[in-house]
Amino acid sequence: MEIQRFNDPKLYYQTIEAYLLQEEAVHCMMLGISKSLMEYPDYYDTVPYLVAIADKDRVVATAIKTPNYKLLLSRCSQSEAIVKIARDLAFDEQYLSGVIASEPEATIFAQAWYSLRAASYRQAFALRIHQLEKVESLIQASGYLRQARASDRTLLTSWIQDFEREALGDNKPQSDSVRWLALKLQQGNIYIWEDNIAVSMVAYGGATPNGIRINAVYTPPEYRQKGYATSCVAAMSQKLLEQGYQYCFLYTDISNPTSNSIYQKIGYQPVCDITDYSLFCS
């Protein structure tokens, strides 16, 4: 069993694409980030951690860690490969704030990291990946979906920061909301639901070979329970399907039954549960 590190995102993607596509929805975030690294190689100030484990020239596991974010770990049927990744990171003295993966991969890694670095771990979130192929007919809220404009920048910056605080709390990564928003506006990948005024937002990105991921769904508290987020996500999903994507993917927090129910009414179906662990050095 061999481990290979990559400095070239294109070579990394070529190596792991077929493996990750065996479960495209489960690996939608890893596939999307891999493609983004090829398109925007200078987005991060330091080189991301990109690694693949091969057994007899066949990929059996892969992992990605971009600066200031948790490790993303693929499905893997061989626990030895997961431990090998943990050892590689420990040997390199990489700092890890956490790991995000399906089970049992997430727990195997967390336990290995505990053994190597005496770092305890605690579940931060229980997540669920959903996939949509067809938008169900719904009663639309008042208003319409429109592409965000440069003039929306100040409002959207505030919303994104509120979204991060509300959704992530103390687990908020040291993300650069201003830079993220600038890229989304440049790409045209962030939209607003307008009902005389802006009342909700949705973004998308991280395209995979056959799908794309919805993210950053947020409605300020004063505009909630009016169906804005539901209509916003439904309209955005329909628009993406009409652009040629076969699937839309979406992550939800399992502890939030309201959002899970809403997305399933739109047509999103559960695919896989994901564990998000935070790691703490002793």
Report in angstroms the alpha-carbon separations of 197 from 34, 193, 255.
Answer: 36, 8, 30
Report in angstroms the alpha-carbon separations of 128 from 107, 231, 245, 251.
Answer: 16, 21, 21, 6
Contacts for 146 with CB less than 8 Å, ≥ 6 apart: 191, 192, 194
- Residues 7, 50: Cα–Cα separation, whole Å: 7
The tens digit of pLDDT for each residue in 7-38 reads: 999 999 999 999 999 999 999 999 999 999 99
Residue type, 151: S
Q: List the chain residues with pLDDT less than 50.
A: 171, 173-174
- pLDDT recorded at residue 169: 65
Domains and CATH numbers, the chain: 2-117 (3.40.630), 132-272 (3.40.630.30)
Structure tokens at 212: 């794309």
Tokens 């993300």 locate to 175
- pLDDT recorded at residue 259: 84
- Residues 160, 220: Cα–Cα separation, whole Å: 10
- pLDDT recorded at residue 93: 75
- pLDDT recorded at residue 261: 86
The tens digit of pLDDT for each residue in 214-261 reads: 999 999 999 999 999 999 999 999 999 999 999 999 999 999 888 888
- pLDDT recorded at residue 10: 95
CA dihedral 99, 101, 103, 108 (to 10 degrees): -40
- pLDDT recorded at residue 174: 44
CA dihedral 195, 151, 240, 207 (to 10 degrees): -140
